[in-house]
Structure 1
Amino acid sequence: MATNKLNDNKLKALLKNLPEKETWIADGEGLALRMQRGGNLSWYFRYRLGGRNSKLERLFIGKYPDLPLAAARKLKDKCRNWLADNKDPRFMLDRITQEALKPVTVKDALEYWLNNYAVHNRKNHEKHRSQLIAHIYPKIGAMPLSMAERRHWLDALENISRKGSPVAAGYVLQMCKQALRYCDRRGYATSTALERLTIPDVGKKQEKDDRVLTDSELSDLLKWLNTNRIQPYYRDLIKLMLVFCARTKEVRLSTWDEWDFDAKLWTVPKDNSKNGIRITRPIPDRVIPWLVDMRQHNNGPFILGEFKEGTTVSQYGRILCKRLKHKEPWTLHNLRHTFITKNADLGAAPHVVELLAGHELGGVFSIYNRGEYLSEKLQVLNCYLDRLELLAEPQKNVIAATFIRAL
């Protein structure tokens, strides 16, 4: 079958000497030029979907000279490839035309992942969104995803590091990579611009935080909690974290209906736990009078009396060590590391401490062992309270001095 029958000189000659009636001239392999009265020259791709006996389809692909010969042949090759993949060129061409007219932007792709995946599977999805709004959308959010090259992404991500947040830059990179892979798997949009980038290319990995407070530092903190220099909200928050090895979020979002004073149990619902599991912690007898006093002073559903955002609480925790004049920095999360480490030194069973911390037991324990170990947990909590009592008031040796004193 002859191909490439037309050339530019022949097409220019046709424009000067148009036929009086409609005429078709084939270029080969399905590409043909339709000439009409009035000087219209149009490119068509002619094909059959079901073999020789099926209907002949004519697909308009552009006008000449707006669509030059070379470009028409490239488009014809695309149509032939679609046919080879059992795809109708008419539908495929319409699809890419729509994408060209209204392309999927970088923001569209990331929002697609946020709304269809992160909202349902990530507890911190709002943090993801806020980081994208702050760092990615202003830089490249409006760009068509297909035109956002690696250099564009690098400029946006490296800008986070330049502002002093290299760990956040790596975090955002990993998030965006997952989002683009999700879009590709769903057939929404495709981009491989981030595939070869790693965290060191834009920032740095978060260092492992294994900080444990010394007995002297714990003593400073406990004495600080007994002064008037700390807001009641943060005083109660830190006490609850110290006593129960609770995460900041578990305490921030805790409401009074989670606390059963008759059964002496605090049950953290799945929605408030990091791992999406319910956490049950016994309440030691000596802590209940303090909790009852808190309830009398704190109005509303929240045990701390009000709601504060996680970022606000974390910021306060980062400066607390400076107020106590501790040389090595620590955060509120390090109170959990301290609880786990100190109880290991006291001989507590590791699996009981892990359950108090809200960690899932590994291996077959996570599948078959559903025990709450309430008596063992209570023993660990009481033992640790004894330790805190000695550090808080070594002369009096009374836990009430710190945990039950009138607020």
Structure 2
Amino acid sequence: MPKLSKPLTDTQVKTAKPKGDKPYTLADGGGMYLEVTTSGSKIWRMSYRQENGKQNRLTFGAYPEISLLEARAKRAVARKLLADGIDPGQFKRDAKQAKAIAATHTFEAVALTWLEKTVATRAVTTQEKVTNWLKKDVFPFIGNMPVSAIKPTDVLATVQKMEARGAIDSAHRVKQICGQVLRYAVAIGLIERDVTTDLKGALTISIKTNYASITEPKQSGELMRSIFSYTGHPYALAALKLSALFFVRPGELRSAQWSEIDLEAAEWRIPGEKMKMKVDHLVPLSTQAVDILRGVFAMSGHGKYVFPSIRTNERCMSENTVNAALRAMGYAKETMTAHGFRAMARTILDEVLGERVDLIEHQLAHAVKDPNGRAYNRTAHLPARREMMQRWSDYLDKLRMDVGTHSIRT
């Protein structure tokens, strides 16, 4: 029978000292031993024989970082692997490699790659919004985690922080974005499944409401007077005025670039990648709009954006700027929003000014089709739309000056 080693004691391990000019070992049984080096270091190791008969050894770590009890636990795991026909040394190397790979495939690294790969599917403003959500609300909490280690509760805790501050709609959207990132990770073989599917029903249900808007002429005139009396930043003032004149989506206005605007031709050509419908859109500029833009050009014309961020010219104005200006003017979010200028124009142009609905829908960049079911191009009915936009600007001036024309159908 092979000689059985008497198990070590904590005292033996603790008091073991170097002996001479060679290392020596203290056996604990089951192939495990403590190697004491000439420098006094103590290292836990285990000898074992592979299926092919080759002798090999494992290193569990140094004492006292790895206690006697912890070393024995590691030995038990190794012996279980051997019993299952698995080489514990190769298993350890594979696990180390997998850990290294996982460390390079963090949620942040995968998300940034996904953003780059899918950029063509989103408008510029949407790309910016998604990027900001990830950087501000996701990366600080799960960005450093390997995608393979992320659990449903990790994503839930992240989006619940947004929910707690009242950003319920954004929390739902960010959960969807996290799911898209994880599905990309599935597609490239990093994980088996998207764990956000387990979060169905976990967030507060958002009650959908229309964007608050002023649609009555008299109140619209009061709004325009408030806008022209606004004393905030000049970019915000110009954006407020143009929001009313253009009634484009807020993201389209704040991301406007000077390269898209021809002041001489009085046209703003918005490329399709910025539009919700992914179709190029043309905004005829009224004389009032041209005057406002010329004033803005004197401030930002040297740069890329019509409305640059006040912090850096490399980014456009914040999405909160126009809404913040409305709040500063005394308009609550339940009364008027940046997006509400679209409803204001849509309602008054139709119900008060009697403009053609198809022209209004064209100018709102809604899907409008000809009698054959084909979508119109961006220049469809341009002369008529140009006249309508000038009438709208003139009408807003009349409302602002309160000359009594707000209730007259023309």
Q: TM-score range by the shorter chain?
A: 0.5 to 0.7
Equivalent AA in structure 2 for residue 338 of structure 1:
M
Q: 1:81-92, aligned counterparts within 5 Å?
A: none
CA spacing shift, 1:246–1:163, aligned 2, 3 Å: closer
Corresponding residue for 1:337?
Answer: 343
| Aligned 8 A contact 1:252 1:307 in 2 | no
In the alignment, structure 2 segments of 5+ residues that lack a partner are 1-28, 32-48, 59-74
CA spacing shift, 1:366–1:116, aligned 2, 3 Å: farther
Corresponding residue for 1:29?
Answer: none
| Aligned 8 A contact 1:268 1:279 in 2 | yes
Corresponding residue for 1:49?
Answer: none
- Rounded to whole Å, the distance in 2 between the matches of 1:365 and 1:196 is 45
Equivalent AA in structure 2 for residue 339 of structure 1:
A
| Aligned 8 A contact 2:238 2:292 in 1 | no
Corresponding residue for 2:109?
Answer: 108
- Rounded to whole Å, the distance in 2 between the matches of 1:170 and 1:14 is 54
Equivalent AA in structure 2 for residue 320 of structure 1:
L
Matched, 1:352 2:359: yes
CA RMSD in angstroms comes to 4.2
- Rounded to whole Å, the distance in 2 between the matches of 1:142 and 1:209 is 38
Greater length-normalized contact order (CA 8 Å, ≥ 6 residues apart): 2
- Rounded to whole Å, the distance in 1 between the matches of 2:277 and 2:333 is 33
Matched, 1:388 2:396: yes
1:281 match: secondary structure: strand
| Aligned 8 A contact 1:299 1:305 in 2 | no
Compare 144-153 and 263-272 and name the one that shifted more. Answer: 263-272
Aligned-residue identity in percent: 18
In the alignment, structure 1 segments of 5+ residues that lack a partner are 1-12, 16-24, 26-31, 43-63, 77-89, 399-407
Q: 1:180-195, aligned counterparts within 5 Å?
A: 180-195=182-197
Q: 1:95-244, aligned counterparts within 5 Å?
A: 98-103=97-102, 104-118=105-119, 121=122, 123=124, 124-198=126-200, 200-205=201-206, 207-213=208-214, 214-227=216-229, 229-244=231-246
| Aligned 8 A contact 1:167 1:203 in 2 | no
Equivalent AA in structure 2 for residue 68 of structure 1:
R
TM-score, scaled to structure 2: 0.66
1:68 match: secondary structure: helix
Matched, 1:73 2:84: yes
Equivalent AA in structure 2 for residue 224 of structure 1:
S
User: What per-residue deviation string (whole Å, max 9, x for no partner) do you get for residues 87-146 of structure 1?
Assistant: xxx9xx998773244323333332332232247645333432332233333333333333
- Rounded to whole Å, the distance in 2 between the matches of 1:311 and 1:261 is 21
| Aligned 8 A contact 1:282 1:377 in 2 | yes
Query: Which of 262, 281, 297 is 1:279 aligned to?
Result: 281
Matched, 1:374 2:385: no
- Rounded to whole Å, the distance in 2 between the matches of 1:301 and 1:145 is 39
| Aligned 8 A contact 1:321 1:329 in 2 | no
- Rounded to whole Å, the distance in 1 between the matches of 2:100 and 2:209 is 47
CA spacing shift, 1:176–1:287, aligned 2, 3 Å: closer
Structure 1 position 302, deviation (Å)? 6.3
Equivalent AA in structure 1 for residue 79 of structure 2:
P
1:266 match: secondary structure: strand
2:129 match: secondary structure: helix
| Aligned 8 A contact 1:318 1:332 in 2 | no
| Aligned 8 A contact 1:236 1:304 in 2 | no
Aligned length: 337
- Rounded to whole Å, the distance in 1 between the matches of 2:333 and 2:259 is 40
2:282 match: secondary structure: strand
Corresponding residue for 2:52?
Answer: 34
Corresponding residue for 2:269?
Answer: 267
- Rounded to whole Å, the distance in 2 between the matches of 1:368 and 1:119 is 22
| Aligned 8 A contact 1:343 1:384 in 2 | yes
TM-score, scaled to structure 1: 0.67
CA spacing shift, 1:357–1:231, aligned 2, 3 Å: same
- Rounded to whole Å, the distance in 1 between the matches of 2:197 and 2:376 is 40
| Aligned 8 A contact 2:258 2:306 in 1 | no
CA spacing shift, 1:189–1:311, aligned 2, 3 Å: farther
Structure 1 position 335, deviation (Å)? 0.7
Structure 1 position 219, deviation (Å)? 1.3
- Rounded to whole Å, the distance in 1 between the matches of 2:186 and 2:341 is 42
CA spacing shift, 1:185–1:250, aligned 2, 3 Å: same
User: What per-residue deviation string (whole Å, max 9, x for no partner) do you get for residues 294-328 of structure 1?
Assistant: 65676535685755556635244245145245694
